[in-house]
Amino acid sequence: MKKTLTVVTLLAAGASQAAGLTIDTQGGRATGMGSTGVASMKDASAIYYNPAGIMGVNKLDIQLGGSLILVDLGFTPDATGVEQSQSPVSPPPYGYFVYRINEQLAAGVGVFTPFGANSKWPDDFVGRQLALESRVATYDINPTLAFAPVKWLRLGVGFQAVYGTINVRKQIVVPPPSPAAGATGQVELATNDWGFGYNAGVQADVMPGLLTLGAHFRSGIAMSTQGNADFSGFPDPVAPSFPDQPVSLDVDLPASLGLGVSFTPLNEKLTLTADVNWVRWSTIEQLLFELETTPQFNQPSVKNWENRWNVRVGGEYKVTDALAVRAGFVYDPTPSPEDTLAPDLPDADRLKISVGAGYAFSAFRVDAGYQLVLLQEQRSTFPPLPGTYNGMAHVIGLTLGYSP
């Protein structure tokens, strides 16, 4: 039985700043270091990057922040050679709370948006029957527990409760043999659901004070979203053929595995990090809207995504005890084959260049990061609409922290 992932159709227009669906800028420090963190995060944001890292909190750590994502995406269809573009804005927030109970045990909870995007193509977009406007957000509530059986080894595990909200609008053309064939209308779909999963990680100081290795696994999450489909704008003779009705969307959010290394020479002033992350994109084989009253309008879209590894490197230098500067680089290849790349979910290989800084004062600190995301020119041979996608994105991350 083919697995389906209908929510991805709602992430149209180059999902944020990571290939596929993921939003990986979940902390200002990590954003500036190329979104690395599997081995290097040892504060409250480790709830996202590797739960074992929360053992690095001294007593209490609270972080609140967000990532402003501005996307400039263009599509040039072969048929016209005229580029159409959009510039959606997404501000996914996050928050983390960690309390270290004793030398061997810490607990915390994180709330963040691991998947989400906004998209709005112009009304005359050549692919408007696939996507005109969409909004999606998944909110992950991630209670976490970490344990250090010995000083140099940290283990962590978390439970994921994910709430997804989905909205999409697209054009529909009345098909033959209706006498109104060729007439157009629109459909708006809104669904939501809860899904559940887990994550687990380990960090090991193989050379204490110098070299740390880490691994982190985040499970896939199955969701069956339910909601309503509202049809409008059809001429009177055919409007009864498009009644408002319930709609369902089956979702398989992919599992991922991260492996990381952190190297800290120069008396802990310099930290060099590298992560490789594997994402099980092969769960995305087709997209399917399932209408309850008019199932004849269900049109599966084949995707056949492929599993991918992405590579991230980063660094941090402590100029003073209060000030740190950071930089990083990411190569993130698209999982989409050329022959299934369509405007309902455009994608491209991504190169990301990041810089950042952090400043601490008393019990407070501020971490800021910026990423320039270059979407490489991506050719699509998708038969209904071949063309070329390209663009860029700007990601600005800011985190406020408190550690008394």
- State the average pLDDT over residues 95-103: 97
The per-residue pLDDT for range 214-230, each reduced to its tens digit, is 999 999 999 899 999 99
CA 222 to chain centre: 16
The pair of three-digit structure tokens given for residue 30, joined into one six-digit string? 């990590």
Per-residue pLDDT band for 84 (boundaries 50, 70, 90) equals low
What range defines the domain where residue 285 resides? 7-402
CA gap 108, 62 in Å, rounded = 10
1 within some domain: no
What integer pLDDT is reported at residue 176 of this predicted model?
A: 81
**What domain count does the chain have?**
1
Report the pLDDT value the prediction gives residue 73, as an integer from 0 to 100: 81
Q: For 215, phi and psi rounded to 5 degrees? A: -145, 145
3-7, 171-175, 183-187, 360-364, range with greatest mean pLDDT: 360-364
Q: How far apart are CA 336 and CA 287, in angstroms?
A: 13
Determine, yes or no, domain membership for 2.
no
- The CATH code of the domain that includes 71 is 2.40.160.60
Give 397: exposed, middle or buried? Use CB within 10 Å, 0-12, 13-18, 19+. Answer: buried
**Composition of the chain by helix, strand, coil, percent to 5:** 10, 60, 35
In a domain, 73, yes or no: yes
Contacts of 1 (CB under 8 A, 6+ apart): none
User: Taking the alpha carbons of 38, 42, 45, 48 in that order, is the dihedral positive or negative?
Assistant: positive
Q: What is d(CA 225, CA 259) in angstroms, rounded to the nearest whole number?
A: 32
Q: Is 58 exposed, middle or buried (0-12, 13-18, 19+ CB in 10 A)?
A: exposed
**Paired tokens of 271:** 């930290």
Q: What is the pLDDT of residues 268-300, one digit of tens each?
A: 899 999 999 999 989 888 778 799 998 888 877
Q: How far apart are the C-alpha atoms of 328 and 78, rounded to whole Å?
A: 36
DSSP 56: G
Mean pLDDT (whole number) for 144-157:
97
Q: What are phi and psi of 295, to 5 degrees?
A: -65, -15
CA distances from 343 to 10, 120, 205, 387 (A): 11, 12, 46, 10
What is the chain's Cα-based Rg?
A: 22
Cα dihedral sign, 331-353-209-39: negative
Q: What burial letters (b/e) apply to 216-225, b meaning 16+ CB within 10 Å?
A: bebbebebeb
